[in-house]
Amino acid sequence: MIQIEENKCDFCGCCVGVCPVDCIEVMESIIEIDDEICIDCDLCVFICPIDVLSSVATATI
């Protein structure tokens, strides 16, 4: 799962450009990731210029 620090985000859309499954939506000052579609590839985490996104291990039961 990807965690977003929304206060840091500049809404540049760089993460959207590399996302292979189009699960990120960036509006003027809103960013949302659809966890149902996300495949945890972390490409968005790598490409973010200002460390807004981080990968969080999903708890397994």
Partner 1 sequence: MWQQQQFDCIVVGGGPAGTTFAQVASRGGLSVLVLEKDRDIGMPVRCGEAISDKGLRYFHDPDPRWILSTIDRIKLTAPNGTEIEFDLNDKGYILDRRIFDYDLAHMAVQEGAMVVTKAYVNGLIIDNDMVCGVKGNYLNTPFEVKAKFVIGADGVESRVGRWGGLRTQVKLKDMESGIQKTVSGIEVQSNKFEFYLSRKWAPGGYLWVFPKGNKSANIGLAISGYFAKEGKSAQKFLDEFLQWKYPECSVLTTVVGGIPVDKTLKCMVADGLMLVGDAAHTVNPMTGGGISSGMMSGMAAAETAIELLHNKKEPTRANLNSYEKKWAKLRGKKHEKYYRIKEAIFRFDDDDLNRIADGIAAVKEEDRSLMKLFSIAVSKKPTLLIDVMRLFTGL
Footprint of partner 1 on this chain (CB under 8 A)? 10, 12-20, 22, 25-28, 43, 46-51
Give the nearest distance from C-beta 1 to partner 1 in angstroms. Answer: 19
Sequence-ordered list of residues with C-beta below 8 angstroms from that of 20, at least 6 positions apart, any chain: 39, 41, 43
Nearer to partner 1, 51 or 61 (CB): 51
Check: CB of residue 43 under 8 Å from CB of residue 20.
yes
Q: Give the C-alpha separation, 43 to 15, whole Å.
A: 7
Nearer to partner 1, 35 or 42 (CB): 42
Minimal distance, residue 58 CB to partner 1, in Å: 21
